[in-house]
Amino acid sequence: MKLFYSPTSPYVRKVLACAISREIDKQIELVPTNPHLSPAGLLAANPLSKVPCLLTADGVALFDSPVICEYLDSLDGALQLFPRAGGPRWRALKLQAMADGILDAAVGRRMEQGKPQEAARDATMARHKAAVERTLAELEKEPPHKALDIGSISVACALGYLDLRFGAEPWRPAHPKLAAWFAAFSENPGLARTVPKDPA
Protein backbone atom coordinates (compact mmCIF):
# COMPACT_ATOMS: atom_id res chain seq x y z
CA MET A 1 0.00 0.00 0.00
CA LYS A 2 1.05 3.60 -0.61
CA LEU A 3 -0.08 6.61 1.38
CA PHE A 4 0.22 10.10 -0.05
CA TYR A 5 0.78 12.20 3.05
CA SER A 6 1.81 15.52 4.52
CA PRO A 7 3.47 15.35 7.95
CA THR A 8 1.40 18.15 9.54
CA SER A 9 -1.99 17.02 8.22
CA PRO A 10 -4.18 15.95 11.15
CA TYR A 11 -6.22 13.76 8.80
CA VAL A 12 -3.03 11.94 7.79
CA ARG A 13 -2.12 11.59 11.46
CA LYS A 14 -5.43 9.85 12.13
CA VAL A 15 -4.73 7.33 9.35
CA LEU A 16 -1.19 6.67 10.57
CA ALA A 17 -2.34 6.35 14.19
CA CYS A 18 -4.88 3.73 13.10
CA ALA A 19 -2.27 1.83 11.08
CA ILE A 20 0.19 1.85 14.00
CA SER A 21 -2.51 0.85 16.47
CA ARG A 22 -3.41 -2.13 14.28
CA GLU A 23 0.29 -2.93 13.76
CA ILE A 24 0.04 -2.74 9.97
CA ASP A 25 2.00 0.49 9.46
CA LYS A 26 4.99 -1.39 8.05
CA GLN A 27 2.79 -2.48 5.13
CA ILE A 28 2.38 1.15 4.05
CA GLU A 29 4.88 3.06 1.92
CA LEU A 30 4.75 6.77 2.72
CA VAL A 31 4.84 9.17 -0.23
CA PRO A 32 5.59 12.75 0.91
CA THR A 33 3.19 15.03 -0.94
CA ASN A 34 2.32 18.72 -1.06
CA PRO A 35 -1.33 18.65 -2.13
CA HIS A 36 -1.34 22.42 -2.72
CA LEU A 37 1.00 21.86 -5.67
CA SER A 38 -1.33 19.19 -7.17
CA PRO A 39 1.45 16.76 -8.14
CA ALA A 40 0.66 14.39 -10.99
CA GLY A 41 1.00 11.24 -8.86
CA LEU A 42 -1.58 12.47 -6.38
CA LEU A 43 -3.95 13.74 -9.07
CA ALA A 44 -3.84 10.37 -10.81
CA ALA A 45 -5.11 8.78 -7.60
CA ASN A 46 -7.25 11.57 -6.18
CA PRO A 47 -8.73 14.25 -8.46
CA LEU A 48 -9.49 16.36 -5.37
CA SER A 49 -5.71 16.74 -4.79
CA LYS A 50 -6.08 16.10 -1.07
CA VAL A 51 -4.22 14.01 1.48
CA PRO A 52 -4.43 11.44 2.87
CA CYS A 53 -4.88 9.25 -0.17
CA LEU A 54 -4.23 5.52 0.06
CA LEU A 55 -3.47 3.22 -2.85
CA THR A 56 -4.43 -0.26 -1.76
CA ALA A 57 -2.43 -3.36 -2.65
CA ASP A 58 -4.86 -4.07 -5.47
CA GLY A 59 -4.59 -0.53 -6.87
CA VAL A 60 -7.77 1.04 -5.54
CA ALA A 61 -7.38 4.70 -4.57
CA LEU A 62 -9.14 5.67 -1.33
CA PHE A 63 -9.38 9.16 0.06
CA ASP A 64 -10.91 10.91 3.05
CA SER A 65 -9.58 9.77 6.41
CA PRO A 66 -12.80 8.05 7.64
CA VAL A 67 -12.86 5.88 4.50
CA ILE A 68 -9.16 5.02 4.71
CA CYS A 69 -9.37 4.23 8.43
CA GLU A 70 -12.33 1.94 7.90
CA TYR A 71 -10.50 0.19 5.07
CA LEU A 72 -7.45 -0.34 7.31
CA ASP A 73 -9.77 -1.73 9.98
CA SER A 74 -11.06 -4.30 7.46
CA LEU A 75 -7.61 -5.82 7.00
CA ASP A 76 -6.49 -8.79 9.04
CA GLY A 77 -5.48 -7.86 12.54
CA ALA A 78 -6.53 -8.43 16.11
CA LEU A 79 -7.49 -4.91 17.18
CA GLN A 80 -10.75 -3.58 15.75
CA LEU A 81 -10.96 0.22 15.84
CA PHE A 82 -14.51 0.39 14.50
CA PRO A 83 -16.88 -1.32 16.94
CA ARG A 84 -19.18 -3.60 14.96
CA ALA A 85 -22.59 -2.83 16.44
CA GLY A 86 -24.69 -1.19 19.11
CA GLY A 87 -23.93 1.73 21.39
CA PRO A 88 -20.12 1.46 21.22
CA ARG A 89 -20.21 1.74 17.41
CA TRP A 90 -22.44 4.81 17.35
CA ARG A 91 -20.46 6.49 20.12
CA ALA A 92 -17.18 5.92 18.28
CA LEU A 93 -18.62 7.22 15.00
CA LYS A 94 -20.13 10.25 16.76
CA LEU A 95 -16.77 11.08 18.35
CA GLN A 96 -15.07 10.71 14.96
CA ALA A 97 -17.60 13.12 13.43
CA MET A 98 -17.10 15.62 16.28
CA ALA A 99 -13.33 15.43 15.92
CA ASP A 100 -13.47 15.79 12.15
CA GLY A 101 -15.75 18.80 12.65
CA ILE A 102 -13.16 20.36 14.95
CA LEU A 103 -10.52 19.72 12.31
CA ASP A 104 -12.61 21.10 9.46
CA ALA A 105 -13.20 24.30 11.45
CA ALA A 106 -9.60 24.58 12.70
CA VAL A 107 -8.08 23.92 9.27
CA GLY A 108 -10.54 26.38 7.71
CA ARG A 109 -9.57 29.00 10.27
CA ARG A 110 -5.89 28.34 9.65
CA MET A 111 -6.40 28.89 5.91
CA GLU A 112 -8.28 32.15 6.53
CA GLN A 113 -5.39 33.48 8.63
CA GLY A 114 -3.27 33.77 5.50
CA LYS A 115 -5.75 36.08 3.77
CA PRO A 116 -5.80 39.89 4.03
CA GLN A 117 -7.70 41.09 7.07
CA GLU A 118 -11.27 42.15 6.32
CA ALA A 119 -14.69 41.87 7.93
CA ALA A 120 -15.77 38.77 5.96
CA ARG A 121 -12.56 36.91 6.77
CA ASP A 122 -12.79 37.82 10.44
CA ALA A 123 -16.43 36.67 10.59
CA THR A 124 -15.51 33.33 9.02
CA MET A 125 -12.65 32.84 11.47
CA ALA A 126 -14.89 33.70 14.42
CA ARG A 127 -17.48 31.19 13.21
CA HIS A 128 -14.84 28.45 12.94
CA LYS A 129 -13.45 29.29 16.39
CA ALA A 130 -16.92 29.20 17.95
CA ALA A 131 -17.62 25.78 16.40
CA VAL A 132 -14.42 24.39 17.92
CA GLU A 133 -15.19 25.91 21.33
CA ARG A 134 -18.73 24.49 21.40
CA THR A 135 -17.49 21.04 20.45
CA LEU A 136 -14.73 21.12 23.06
CA ALA A 137 -17.36 22.03 25.65
CA GLU A 138 -19.41 18.97 24.65
CA LEU A 139 -16.36 16.73 24.85
CA GLU A 140 -15.54 18.13 28.29
CA LYS A 141 -18.95 16.98 29.53
CA GLU A 142 -18.17 13.41 28.50
CA PRO A 143 -14.58 12.81 27.35
CA PRO A 144 -13.84 9.73 25.24
CA HIS A 145 -13.33 6.45 27.06
CA LYS A 146 -9.92 4.85 27.47
CA ALA A 147 -10.83 2.36 24.72
CA LEU A 148 -8.70 2.58 21.61
CA ASP A 149 -11.20 3.10 18.79
CA ILE A 150 -11.75 5.39 15.83
CA GLY A 151 -13.55 7.94 17.99
CA SER A 152 -10.84 8.32 20.60
CA ILE A 153 -8.07 8.38 17.97
CA SER A 154 -9.93 11.07 16.01
CA VAL A 155 -10.46 13.27 19.09
CA ALA A 156 -6.81 12.95 20.09
CA CYS A 157 -5.67 13.96 16.59
CA ALA A 158 -7.99 16.98 16.65
CA LEU A 159 -6.66 18.12 20.02
CA GLY A 160 -3.10 17.63 18.80
CA TYR A 161 -3.83 19.85 15.80
CA LEU A 162 -5.15 22.59 18.08
CA ASP A 163 -1.86 22.39 20.00
CA LEU A 164 0.14 22.59 16.76
CA ARG A 165 -1.68 25.45 15.05
CA PHE A 166 -3.37 27.35 17.88
CA GLY A 167 -0.96 26.89 20.76
CA ALA A 168 -1.34 30.56 21.68
CA GLU A 169 -4.97 29.77 22.54
CA PRO A 170 -4.62 26.92 25.05
CA TRP A 171 -7.74 24.78 25.30
CA ARG A 172 -6.74 22.81 28.42
CA PRO A 173 -7.55 25.32 31.22
CA ALA A 174 -11.27 25.40 30.36
CA HIS A 175 -11.43 21.64 29.73
CA PRO A 176 -9.59 19.84 32.58
CA LYS A 177 -11.34 16.47 32.17
CA LEU A 178 -10.63 16.42 28.44
CA ALA A 179 -7.04 17.51 29.07
CA ALA A 180 -6.51 14.68 31.57
CA TRP A 181 -7.96 12.17 29.12
CA PHE A 182 -5.75 13.50 26.31
CA ALA A 183 -2.58 13.32 28.40
CA ALA A 184 -3.19 9.66 29.25
CA PHE A 185 -4.46 8.65 25.81
CA SER A 186 -1.52 10.29 24.02
CA GLU A 187 0.74 7.58 25.43
CA ASN A 188 -0.74 5.05 22.99
CA PRO A 189 1.89 4.19 20.34
CA GLY A 190 -0.27 5.38 17.43
CA LEU A 191 -0.47 8.85 18.98
CA ALA A 192 2.99 8.99 20.54
CA ARG A 193 4.70 8.13 17.25
CA THR A 194 2.74 10.61 15.14
CA VAL A 195 3.04 13.86 17.10
CA PRO A 196 3.16 16.58 14.43
CA LYS A 197 5.99 19.06 14.28
CA ASP A 198 5.57 22.37 12.49
CA PRO A 199 8.36 22.64 9.90
CA ALA A 200 8.06 26.43 9.94
For residue 197, being part of any structural domain is answered with no
User: What is the tally of structural domains in the chain?
Assistant: 2
- The reply to whether 32 and 106 lie within a common domain is no
| Residue pair 79/22 in contact by the 8 Å Cβ criterion | yes
- The reply to whether 93 and 181 lie within a common domain is yes
- The reply to whether 17 and 55 lie within a common domain is yes
For residue 198, being part of any structural domain is answered with no
Q: Is 138 a residue whose pLDDT tops 90?
A: yes
DSSP secondary structure letters along 106-173: HHHHHHHHTSPP-HHHHHHHHHHHHHHHHHHHHHHHS---SS-SHHHHHHHHHHHHHHHH-TTS--ST
Q: Per-residue confidence at 197, pLDDT binned at 50, 70, 90?
A: confident
Domain extent at residue 45 = 2-74
- The reply to whether 32 and 93 lie within a common domain is no
- The reply to whether 178 and 134 lie within a common domain is yes
Over the chain, what is the mean pLDDT? 95
Q: Which residues lie below 8 Å from residue 95, measured CB to CB, with a gap of 6+? A: 144, 150, 151, 152, 154, 155
Q: Measured between alpha carbons, how far is 89 from 120 in angstroms, rounded to an integer?
A: 39
Which domain-ending residue is among 54, 74, 94?
74
- The reply to whether 169 and 122 lie within a common domain is yes
- Furthest C-alpha separation in the chain: 52
In this prediction, what percent of the chain has a pLDDT beyond 90? 90
For residue 62, being part of any structural domain is answered with yes
List the CATH number of the domain containing 135: 1.20.1050.10
List the CATH number of the domain containing 23: 3.40.30.10
- The reply to whether 112 and 180 lie within a common domain is yes
For residue 200, being part of any structural domain is answered with no
**Model pLDDT for residues 8-26, shown as the tens digit of each residue:** 999 999 999 999 999 999 9
Q: What is the pLDDT of residue 200?
A: 54
- The reply to whether 91 and 68 lie within a common domain is no
- The reply to whether 93 and 43 lie within a common domain is no
Q: Is 123 a residue whose pLDDT tops 60?
A: yes
Q: Is 126 a residue whose pLDDT tops 90?
A: yes
Which domain-ending residue is among 53, 74, 95?
74
